[in-house]
Amino acid sequence: MAALIFTYLLNKSFYKIGNMCPLKMRQGYISSLLQVALLLLIPLPATTDDMPLAAAESLLLSDLRYEPIQPLPPPTDLDQRKVRLGEQLFHESRLSHDNNMSCSSCHFLDNNGADYLPHTLGRDGIKLDVNTPTVFNSSLNHYQLWDGRARNLEEQIDFVVTSDKEYATRWPVIVGKLKQDEKYRNSFGLIYPDGITAPNIRNAIATFERSLITLNSRFDRFLLGNANAISPEEKRGYQLFKTYGCVACHQGSNVGGNLFMKLGVFGDYFAKRGNPTQADLGRFNVTGKPRDRHLFRVPSLRLAALTAPYFHDGSIKTLEEAVKVMAKHQLGRTISDHDISQIVAFLKTLPGEYKGQPLGGVHQAAKEADAP
């Protein structure tokens, strides 16, 4: 049955990569699909109580270099002067029309890189159309924003600046404000020959955002050879994550973020939820193509343990419920509460660190787990 589901999904072309991401990323995705195809041929036990730990560990420890999920790569070739300037600009409220919003108003760097609201409040308290994704590891996404209308971080910044619900301003106004600040004039002048310009502001912020890679997660330490970095329950959760087929969409070092996917492959998610909105049309709002209705960029799960509520609509409050809904509408399966709890345990091993500190407090036992 699992193999038939996988074949059905392929025939329906539920994923779209084509020319949307680099060749290396497409090759990695195809490699992950082949692994999923083989995994789906393995009959699932009725519950993980029937899955001997030794068997799960033998699959996990055979050769971790070929796992569908790989450790996050540290950022390289970043001009640290631009990183520092970009960090200042990330917190700069003068980028907005009313001088009261900055990137950090919606993206909390001391916790999850997003916020905790279904829909962030923008200018004048207006709710934004979709849930705010985390900025951490966002440079690894093949496109930006839920509907992929931004091809890179620089374009994403443009959309925020010009959105009536967010910064509601124009670049000449921002440039004019910053040119009045001697510190900014000096900082830009030392880095950019042409000083303060819109492209340079975008470049500095995007360079800072490219530095926001959450390294040293417990799961990455496991992949790099520390067998004690995650618990037996978390290892079983990872095995289930693969066996159920979650890795078909959530794979690579970012555990997702590298393809578009229809929300509701099995059943109509939106009919069940009710109250349809324009944002629910997803990528259709960008391309106008009927086949892109309800198509969204698959989110990274690297910080899923910290970024509730879930989905583009922010309608799901808990990670357990998110796993259950995804299993039903994306895999056509019902997963037991026991298995869901183990998958969630695995997902909690994925957040890493920012500035050397564990994000969100989910790694309180991280050092203890590494201890001999």
Query: How far, in Å, CA of 251 to CA of 68, rounded?
Result: 5
**Domain 80-210 falls in which CATH fold?**
Cytochrome Bc1 Complex; Chain D, domain 2 (1.10.760)
Q: What is the pLDDT of residue 25?
A: 44
Q: What is the pLDDT of residue 266?
A: 94
Fill in the DSSP letter of residue 45: P
213 in Cβ contact with 137 (< 8 Å): yes
Strand order across the beta sheet in which 260-262 lies: 15-16, 260-262, 295-297
Q: What is the pLDDT of residue 63?
A: 74
Q: What is the pLDDT of residue 62?
A: 58
Q: What is the pLDDT of residue 38?
A: 43
314 in Cβ contact with 131 (< 8 Å): yes
Q: What is the pLDDT of residue 56?
A: 53
SS3 295: strand
3-state DSSP of 145-167: CCCCCECCHHHHHHHHHHCCCCC
Distances (CA, A) of 326 to 108, 110, 319: 26, 28, 10
SS3 282: strand
Quick check: is 154 catalytic? no
Query: How far, in Å, CA of 172 to CA of 313, rounded?
Result: 33
Q: What is the pLDDT of residue 29?
A: 46
Spell out the per-residue pLDDT of the chain, length 372, in tens.
443 444 344 434 444 443 344 444 444 444 445 444 444 444 454 444 545 555 455 545 557 888 999 999 999 999 999 999 999 999 999 999 999 999 999 999 998 999 999 999 999 999 999 999 999 999 999 999 999 999 999 999 999 999 999 999 999 999 999 999 999 999 999 999 999 999 999 999 999 999 999 999 999 999 999 999 999 999 999 999 999 999 999 999 999 999 999 999 999 999 999 999 999 999 999 999 999 999 999 999 999 999 999 999 999 999 999 999 999 999 999 999 999 999 999 999 999 999 999 998 543 334 334 443
Which residues are 297's β-sheet partners?
260
Q: What is the pLDDT of residue 65?
A: 83
Catalytic residue among 166, 182, 233, 321: 166
| CATH no. of 2-73+215-370 | 1.10.760.10
> Where in the sequence of the chain do the CATH 1.10.760.10 domains occur?
2-73+215-370, 80-210
Query: How far, in Å, CA of 308 to CA of 371, rounded?
Result: 30
